[in-house]
Amino acid sequence: MAAAGRHLGMTAVAVLAVATSLFGLSDASAAKKVAFVKKTVSSHDIVIFSKSYCPYCRKAKAVFKELKKEPYVVELDQREDGYEIQDALSEMVGRRTVPQVFIQGKHLGGSDDTVEAYESGKLLTLIGIDSKDDL
């Protein structure tokens, strides 16, 4: 009876290990993706984590085009590790949607937040443009 219990326990551990490797990330791999996000947002003034087909991402990109600023764009759907980066982002900013926009290393938000910041003038300040006349 005890042997059967031990066998079941070992089977559960094996199943968990396989499931983790198939569906989850090891802590080390997740930490690497968090490090990638941190390094990316600290290396560029404007960063957009995006998916190439996403209409909300297109909208956010259009705002920066309007401001004549070129963001650094990470297209998650065009990378093998895109899903893991999205997991890391989700852990960091509490949202799983794209786009996620960062200005000078700080999280601004998604598309709605970007458009709102543009319309209120907050985005100009964050980017360091004095007024729309300077464009």
**Single residue of 46, 51, 88, 102 touching ligand GSH by CB under 6 A:** 51
Least distance between ligand GSH and beta carbon 111 (Å)? 4
Strand (E) or helix (H) holding 6:
helix 2-23
Instruction: Judge whether 108 and 114 are in contact, CB under 8 Å.
Output: yes
Q: Indicate the burial class of 40 (C-beta count within 10 angstroms; 0-12, 13-18, 19 or more).
A: middle
Q: Indicate the burial class of 129 (C-beta count within 10 angstroms; 0-12, 13-18, 19 or more).
A: middle
- In the chain, the DSSP E strands lie at 46-50, 72-75, 100-103, 106-109
Draw the binding track, 21-50, toward ligand GSH (x: CB under 6 A; -: no contact): ------------------------------
Asked if residue 61 binds ligand GSH (CB under 6 A), the reply is no
Which window, 28-36, 106-114, 116-124, 127-135, contacts ligand GSH (CB under 6 A)? 106-114
**Single residue of 4, 5, 28, 55 touching ligand GSH by CB under 6 A:** 55
Asked if residue 93 binds ligand GSH (CB under 6 A), the reply is no
Contacts with ligand GSH by CB under 6 A lie at 51, 54-56, 96-99, 110-112
